[in-house]
Amino acid sequence: MIHYSCDRCKKIIDQHDSLRYVVKIEVQAAMEPLDLDDVDADRDHLLEIQEMLERMEDEECSGAGNEVYQKLHYDLCSDCHRQYVNNPLGSELPVQIGFSQN
């Protein structure tokens, strides 16, 4: 039987009496969308973009591509799940639900 442990608090998650939560995080560098109006005037840019993409592929092969794309997978117990959804970005201030009264 497979035992899962929480990736946050390391507690064993007993699936008979508690739920296991799976967090999947996909992180990718945001590329500026092409401005189609400028494509004719800036053909050289297409070449530059193609070269940039080729460089990125090379970086991925050498393991430096993590800054461009990363896929993460965590198992959480119910306690950590509750804390995670309240502060998914790990910021020092908890996420404010709703609007402030200012």
Q: Does 13 bind Zn ion (CB under 5 A)?
A: no
Whichever of 25 and 31 has its CB closer to Zn ion, that residue is 25
Q: Does 77 bind Zn ion (CB under 5 A)?
A: yes
Q: Does 6 bind Zn ion (CB under 5 A)?
A: yes
**Per-residue three-class SS string for the chain:** CCCEECCCCCCEECCCCCCCEEEEEEEECCCCCCCHHHCCCCHHHHHHHHHHHHHHHHHHHCCHHHHCEEEEEEEECHHHHHHHHHCCCCCCCCCCCCCCCC
Among the listed ranges 36-44, 48-56, 63-71, 76-84, the one in contact with Zn ion (CB under 5 A) is 76-84
Whichever of 11 and 59 has its CB closer to Zn ion, that residue is 11
Q: Are strands 69-76 and 21-28 parallel, antiparallel or unpaired?
A: antiparallel
Among the listed ranges 5-13, 21-29, 56-64, 83-91, the one in contact with Zn ion (CB under 5 A) is 5-13
In the complex, least distance from residue 50 CB atom to Zn ion, rounded to whole angstroms: 45
Whichever of 4 and 8 has its CB closer to Zn ion, that residue is 8
